[in-house]
Amino acid sequence: MATALSMTMNKSTYKDQNVSSPYETALLQYDRAVGHLDLPTSVVEYMRYPRREFTVNFPVRRDDGSTEMFTGYRVHHSTVLGPSKGGIRYSLHVDLDEVRALAMWMTWKCALMGLPYGGAKGGVIVDPKTLSMGELERLTRRYASELIPLISPQSDVPAPDMGTNAQVMAWIMDTYSMTVGYSVPAVVTGKPLEIGGSEGRTSATGHGVVICMVEALKRQGITDPSNISVVVQGFGNVGTYAANHAFELGFKVVAVSDVNGGIYNPNGLDIQAVRAYYAETGALKDFGNAENITNEELLALPCDVLIPAAMESQITRLNADKVKAKLVVEGANGPTTPAADDILNDKGVLVIPDILANAGGVTVSYFEWVQDLQAFFWDQEEISRQLRRLMIKAYDFTAHTAEEYDINMRTAAQVAAIKRVAQALQTRGFYP
C-alpha cells in the first residue's frame, strides 16, 4: 500500500512546466541525473527518500511575558558518507517540503566536493526581524534543545543559513554544551572565532561563487575582468560577498538587489560604497548614481554574468527567455527550475549549478569542523588556498563528467555526486 510520503515522493513525473515546489525540483533533477547511471532500482529508490524527518512544536516566551508556539524542522537526507551537514534557516517561508529539498541538495553538494558528509537541513517558521535579541536567543535555545537527540559532531552538524548567523550558532553550541556538561565546539560550524569558528567562514560561499565564475570564464578564454559585467540578485551573506569579491577582482558589477528591489548602473557600482549605504539605511533603494529596479527587471538586464543569490525558483519558464547573461552562476540553492534550465540550455547559456557554485560555505564549514576536532586552527591564507583547491577540483570533476556523458553542467554535477553516494551505499550494503 502506498504511503503518503511515497506518493509525495513520486509525484515528480517530469511535470516540467508545472514544478511548484523546491522538492519537486530536487526530485526532477535527481530523476534526470540517475537516468544516466546504471544503478540498481533499490539504490535509486533508497536515495530518493530522506533518512529521517523531525518536526517540533515549541513555546517561546516573549518579552511581554506572553508565550507563543513555533514550529521547526530538521531533515537528514543521507548519512551514507558521514555525519549529515546542513544549515538552519529562520524564515516565514520555511516548510517541510523546502527543508527536504535543501537536505537532498546538501547530500549531492557534499559528495561532489568530496566531503565526508551527508545532507541535512533545518528551519523554524519565523521572521527573525520581528524578534528582540532576547526572544531570538530563547527561540534558538529552545529549538536547539529539541534537536539534542539528533545533533552531535559525529551525527549531524548544523550551520547558519538564511535568517541565522554566527551568534545563533553560538547559542546552539552553548545549549548543546550545557546539556552534555562540557564544551563541544564541533557540534556546529559558522561560529564566532572566539569559540572555535574558522577564518573565512562568513565570506566562503560568496568567494566560492566567484572562484567558479572566474574558472568558467577562463575556460572560455576570458581573462580580463574589466570588460565583464556582473549582476547579483540577493544582497544577503552570499550575494554581498560575491559582489564584493568580484568588485575587488576588477569585474564591473552593474546591479545588485535585495528582497525589496535593486539598483543598476551600466558603468558599474562601487560595491564598497553600496555596502556602506546598505549598512546605514538597511536598503539599496535610492543609492546615488544608480537607477532603482525591481528584481524582475534585474534578471533581464544586459550582462555577461548573472549570479542569482537569493531564494529558490527565481528563474522559471516564465522569465528564463528574458535572461540575457551568457553565464549563470548559482549562489542560491535551487534558483533555476528544470523548465527554465531547458530554456537556458537551448539559448546556449552556461549554468554553473548550485551544488558546485555555492559549495564554498560547506567546504569551509568542513575545515572548521576539522579544526575543532583537532583543536588546531589554520590562518586565512591556508583557508583560502584549500578552498580554491577543492573548488577547482570539483569544477574539473563536473566538467569531465559533463564531457564523458555529453550532458550539461547541472546534470553532470548531480551525476558525479549521486554516483559517489551510490558507490558508498553499495559498498556498505543495506542494514540489516
- Within 8 A by CB and 6+ apart from 291, the residues are 263, 264, 265
Strands 291-293, 156-160: pairing kind: unpaired
Average pLDDT over residues 384-407: 97
Give per-residue pLDDT as tens, 63-118. 999 999 999 999 999 999 999 999 999 999 999 999 999 999 999 999 999 999 99
pLDDT at 21: 85
The burial of 276, by beta-carbon neighbours within 10 Å (0-12 exposed, 13-18 middle, 19 or more buried), is given as exposed
pLDDT confidence band for 311 (50 / 70 / 90): confident
pLDDT of residue 190: 96
C-alpha cell at 342: 531547458
Q: Would you say 230 and 303 are in contact if contact means Cβ atoms under 8 Å apart?
A: yes
What nine digits make up the cell of 254? 552593474
Q: Which pLDDT belongs to residue 10?
A: 42
Beta bridge partners, 306, equal 231, 328
| Catalytic position from the list 121, 191, 252, 419 | 121
What domains are there in the chain, each with its CATH number? 50-182 (3.40.50.10860), 204-357 (3.40.50.720)
Of 307, 127, 334, 137, residue with least CA distance to 214: 307
pLDDT of residue 39: 97
pLDDT in tens, 314-330: 999 999 999 999 999 99
% of the chain exceeding 90 in pLDDT: 91
Mean pLDDT of 160-181: 96
Residue 54 has a pLDDT of 97
3-state secondary structure of 127: coil
At 104-156, the pLDDT tens digits run 999 999 999 999 999 999 999 999 999 999 999 999 999 999 999 999 999 99
φ, ψ for residue 72 (rounded to 5)?
-135, 165
Mean pLDDT of the chain: 94
Catalytic annotation on 393?
no
Tens digits of per-residue pLDDT, 282-295?
Answer: 999 999 989 999 99
d(CA 72, CA 156): 16
